[in-house]
Chains A and B, each alone.
Chain A
């Protein structure tokens, strides 16, 4: 059988911001039997990671990042969500997860991926967007009856803001709500560094924990 596309082609399409091709390649790879976890991990996340490396080398360019991000979202919306429908157990059963990029950071791509995967698994996700103050995570979690707060950040400057969330939460009687951190910057830290319950390596690591696993 002739192999038309590889996972490498997906990464390249993402990096070029070519959403149309990224969608085409993704459909092909899933049809050929590639697990959706691998598609996200080796195709989408690895492309985002190489953008992240460029960012830290100060060679980054906002337009390229935005186009890559838009391509990732197209793949998630047009391919991944549809692929997962009917194939997975929606065992989130409407449990509420609050997501947001912490105050001081405006990067949302990784968070979008997490949102899509959690929703596909049946969670009700409330996405607070970017540059979210710690108190907003807490207030929304309490008013919406959330079980989990998911905090994302790409940059290390936000550590002090992340650390505030759990203390604020406990101060307002939200001890039962778990705080999960993820994203390029936060995944380098320990739960103790960040004053959170769990630090996720990637979206599926987070999913496993939120579903009740131990990470």
Chain B
């Protein structure tokens, strides 16, 4: 069974030949290939070459066309700083001091900022990977883009002080998520994954998520589904216990969760949503192979006999991860026969 089929079957709660392994390998692949992170995030060919090398060496089930969390923000006018060997970060939020929150225009993904870098990576990855593995393109969720544009502090205060104004910003950022996601699919990605760090209940309470983000996520995933995405996939770190039960309302069918939520709790809360997670990322840096193997066995044990599980890290594999531990993760997936289901 090829990686693409394995992942799609697992998300549909069907049996697979083994447990799919979907670790969030991003710029780890640059370090692995000896490439500086700045070159990785700025050049689609380099990004794709790093992803392909890591995928071929480790043999997991997906590749990611993902540079960093600031791609959308930069395309909309935020200024970034680019350290040589770590991720770029925002130094000026485009709407931070602005009274007019409605002046931004939708970006053209073929031209704006580094969006073309991601599209180029998608094209190369799909050409090289074809149907052997899942090709994933990353796009930020509406509330996360809004946080980048306004600065998180301003976004959060505005949610309380001027909710209608924020809703107008979020309607716009929802359009950004959709437009970029659709462009990613057109460029060859099988699936866009919605990264949504600011939707985490560690940032906004459940009630705010329900009022401000959930309706927009419905719109996002409907648009992706109509365009042919076989999976509605969202990744949100932190303790997502309170919002996981809401995921089916946005027709999310694959949830990436991190170690803050136990798999035994998650499987109870979202019985019909596939789960990707949740080995603690930092352990990839620190554990030896034997301890890593034990930890993975413990985590797989928590999910029990359940279809709809894809082994992963729940958050990014750290740049400093020990490659041996990623190998242990992939081997652990192989050793669980017939997938997770019986």
**A residues within 8 Å of B by Cβ?**
17, 58-64, 66-67, 70
Contacts and interface: CB of A to CB of B under 8 A. Distances in A.
Contacts of B204: 61-63
B246 interface: no
Please give me the 5 A-B residue pairs with the lowest Cβ-Cβ distance, nearest first. A62-B203, A63-B156, A61-B205, A63-B204, A66-B156
Nearest to A64: B205
Contacts of B205: 61, 63-64
B157 A62 contact: no
Contacts of B156: 62-63, 66
12 contacts: A58-B202, A60-B202, A61-B201, A61-B205, A62-B152, A62-B156, A63-B156, A63-B203, A63-B205, A64-B205, A66-B153, A66-B156
A74 to B, nearest CB: 13
A159 to B, nearest CB: 18
Interface in B150-177: 152-153, 156-157, 159-160
Contacts of A61: 201-205
Given A17-B160, A63-B205, 7 more contacts: A59-B239, A60-B202, A62-B202, A62-B204, A63-B159, A63-B208, A70-B157
Nearest to B152: A62
B1 to A, nearest CB: 38
Given A66-B156, A66-B157, A58 B239 contact: yes
A70 B161 CA distance: 12
A17 B161 CA distance: 12
Chain B interface residue count: which class?
10 to 19
Contacts of B153: 66
B102 interface: no
Nearest to B201: A61
A68 to B, nearest CB: 12
A155 B82 CA distance: 28
B264 interface: no
Contact of B260 (A58, A64, A67): A58
Contacts of B208: 63
A17 B160 CA distance: 10
Contacts of A64: 205
A55 to B, nearest CB: 10
A70 B153 CA distance: 11
Nearest to B208: A63
A63 B160 contact: yes
Contacts of A17: 160
Nearest to A67: B160
A178 to B, nearest CB: 32
A146 to B, nearest CB: 28
Nearest to A55: B202
A59 B201 CA distance: 8
A58 B237 CA distance: 12
Contacts of A70: 157
Contacts of B202: 58, 60-62
A163 to B, nearest CB: 23
Interface in B38-92: none
Interface in B313-337: none
A122 to B, nearest CB: 31
B157 to A, nearest CB: 7
A58 B261 CA distance: 11
Contacts of A66: 153, 156-157
A163 B166 CA distance: 42
A166 B191 CA distance: 53
A59 B200 CA distance: 11
A106 to B, nearest CB: 10
A184 to B, nearest CB: 18
Contacts of B239: 58-59
A64 B153 CA distance: 12
Interface string B176-200: 0000000000000000000000000
A62 B159 CA distance: 13
Contacts of B160: 17, 63, 67
A215 B239 CA distance: 40
Contacts of A62: 152, 156, 202-204
Contacts of B260: 58
Contacts of A58: 202, 239, 260
Contacts of B159: 63
A17 B239 CA distance: 22
A133 to B, nearest CB: 15
A69 to B, nearest CB: 10
Contacts of A67: 160
A64 B157 CA distance: 10
Of B152, B156, B159, the most chain A CB neighbours within 10 A belong to B156
Interface string B248-277: 000000000000100000000000000000
